[in-house]
Amino acid sequence: MAGKTSNLMDKLVSLSKRRGFIFQSSEIYGGINSCYDYGPLGVELKNNIKHLWWKSMVYERPDIEGIDAGILMHPRVWEASGHVEGFTDPLVDCKTCKMRFRADQIDPSRGCPHCGGELTEPRMFNLMFKTFMGPVEDEAHVVYLRPETAQGIYVNFHNVRESTRKKLPFGIAQVGKAFRNEITPGNFIFRTREFEQMEMQYFVKPGTDEEWFEYWKEQRLRWYDRLGIRKENLRFHPHGKEELAHYAKAAFDIEYHFPFGWNEIEGIHNRTDFDLSRHQQYSGKDLRYYDPENGEKYVPYVVETSTGVDRLLLTTLVDAYTEEPERVVLKFKPYLAPIKAAIFPLVKRDGMPEIAHKIEEELRQCFKVFYDESGSVGRRYRRQDEVGTPFCITVDSQTLEDQTVTIRNRDTMQQERIAVDRIREYLTPRVSL
Ligand code: GAP
C-alpha cells in the first residue's frame, strides 16, 4: 500500500462520516455496537457495486437468472441446511475482564489476549438470530433471520427452473440482507451482524463440478478488475480441511490486503449436492433434475460464489483512497463514484449560476450530480476529489461568450473545453457501466 499510512482505517472512518458515506447506527443514542447506516454517498456507492455485480452475473449472461427471496423462511430450512446444528463458533469468556473471544482465533492456552486473565472452557455458540413468528413466544414459533441468502435460492430451485425452462448448467443469483450474531465483529464495516450478500448458486451435472469450480474461481477473480481493485492487493486462499464449511467439498477465498491484513472478501465453494439433497430429505419433495440428454434423473451439484456488499464497499474505499501532496482523492472507477459530475459557476454573478443550474437540471435526468457555488473553485475541486467525483464542470466568463464550459478530470486534473450542448454526450460513455 504505497503512500498509505497505518492509520488509514481511522482516516476512512472519519471521511466516511464527515462526507456522508457511513454513519454509526442510532448515533444520537450512543450508537449500537458494529451496526452502521449508509449516508447519501454511501448508498450510491453501495447501489453501484450491487448494480455492477447484477449486470455481470444476470444481464450479461444467458445462463443465470435472479431472484429476491424473503429474509424469514420456514424454520425447517435451517435444520436441513445444517445451520441449526452446525453454524456455531467456539466462544470463550475472560473471567477477569469479561471480554469475549472466538477460541479458534486466539491461543486459549496463553489466557486472555486483553488482560492475560483465565478463560472459560469454550462453548459452542449458534450465530443465527432467533425471533418469533406471531404473538406467541415459544419454541414452536421460532424463526430465524437468514444467515446466508443461498438457502432462498435452493428452496426456489424448482420454481426458477420450471418458470424459465432452464437446462443445466445454470445459475440463480440474489442480493440481500443476511444476519449473523458474530462474537467478534469489527474493523468498521468488515464484519458486522447485519450485512448484505451477493450470492450465486450455479447448478451443474455431478462430475462436472470441479471444472465449473475452476471456471468460477477465475471469473470471480477477474471481476475485481471491473470493480477497480488493484491486482496486487488480491490473492486466492485455498481452504484446508479444518477450514471447510459443513457443506463444502472444496473452497477458495478471494482475499484483499486490508490495512489490518489479508482477509476474505469472497468465497467460492463446491457445495456438491449437499443442500438440495438435504432439502429433498427434509421436505419430502423430489428435487432431482431430469436430464433431457440422457433421460437420467439426479440431484445437481452446486458451485457457489458468495461475497458481501459491505465488505466490497470497504475494499473499494481502501483501494481508492489516495493521498497526494495537495489533496485526498478517492480514485473510484467512474461508474462506481457516488456523484458522477459536479457543476460550478466560477462566480455567483453575471448569469453564471443560472447557466450552471440549467446544466445541472439536464444532467440530473441521467446521473447523480451536485451543484456547488460556495468557496473558491480550487476548494470546490478538492471537496469533490475527496468523494471521488470523476468530473467537475465549470461555467466561467468564456461560457457567456461561446457556450463552452471546462470539464476537469479528477485523476489527471486536466481541463478540456466542451460545448454546453455536448456535455451529456461527453459524460455518458465515461461514467456508465
Ligand atoms: N453462502 C456462503 C456464505 O455465506 P461465507 O464465507 O460465510 O459464505 C460469504 O460468507 C461472504 O459474505 C464473505 O466473503 C463476506 O464478504 C460476507 N460476510 C460474511 N460474514 C460477514 C459479516 N459478518 N459481515 C460482513 N460481511 C460478511
Q: Please write the tens of the pLDDT for every residue from 302-338.
A: 999 999 999 999 999 999 999 999 999 999 999 999 9
Which atom of ligand 1 lies nearest, measured to the CA of 192? 24
CATH topology of domain 8-76+143-319: BirA Bifunctional Protein; domain 2 (3.30.930)
Nearest-CA residue for ligand 1 atom 21 is: 191
Task: Kindly state the cell numbers that stand for 383.
Answer: 471537496
- Give me ligand 1 centre to Cα 17, in Å: 24
- Which three-class secondary structure state does DSSP give residue 275? helix
| Count of CA atoms in the C-beta half-sphere (13 A) of 248 | 22
Query: What's the rounded Cα separation, in Å, for the pair 126 and 5?
Result: 37
- Give me ligand 1 centre to Cα 67, in Å: 19
Residue whose C-alpha cell is 435451517: 78
Q: How do residues 392-431 score in pLDDT, each as one tens digit?
A: 999 999 999 999 999 999 999 999 999 999 999 999 999 9
Residue whose C-alpha cell is 477497480: 228
Q: How do residues 217-261 score in pLDDT, each as one tens digit?
A: 999 999 999 999 999 999 999 999 888 988 899 999 999 999 999
* Region label for 82, one of left (φ > 0), alpha (ψ between -120 and 50) or beta (otherwise): left
Task: Kindly state the cell numbers that stand for 367.
Answer: 446521473
Q: How do residues 32-91 score in pLDDT, each as one tens digit?
A: 999 999 999 999 999 999 999 999 999 999 999 999 999 999 999 999 999 999 999 899
Q: Domain 330-431: give its CATH superfamily.
A: Anticodon-binding domain (3.40.50.800)
- Give me ligand 1 centre to Cα 307, in Å: 6
Determine the straight-line distance between the first and last CA of the chain, rounded to whole angstroms.
27
Query: What's the rounded Cα separation, in Å, for the pair 420 and 403?
Result: 6
- Give me ligand 1 centre to Cα 90, in Å: 18
Q: Burial level of 139, CB count in 10 A (0-12/13-18/19+)?
A: exposed
The residue ranges of every structural domain in the chain are: 8-76+143-319, 330-431
Cα–Cα nearest to 74, from 138, 137, 150, 151: 151
Query: What's the rounded Cα separation, in Å, for the pair 384 and 390?
Result: 8
- Give me ligand 1 centre to Cα 5, in Å: 27
Protein residues whose CB sits closer than 6 Å to any atom of ligand 1: 148, 150, 180, 182, 191-192, 195, 197, 199, 264-267, 304, 306-308, 310-311
Query: What's the rounded Cα separation, in Å, for the pair 14 and 7?
Result: 11
pTM: 0.95
Q: How do residues 156-211 score in pLDDT, each as one tens digit?
A: 999 999 999 999 999 999 999 999 999 989 999 999 999 999 999 999 999 999 99
Task: Judge contact between 204 and 172, C-beta under 8 A.
Answer: no
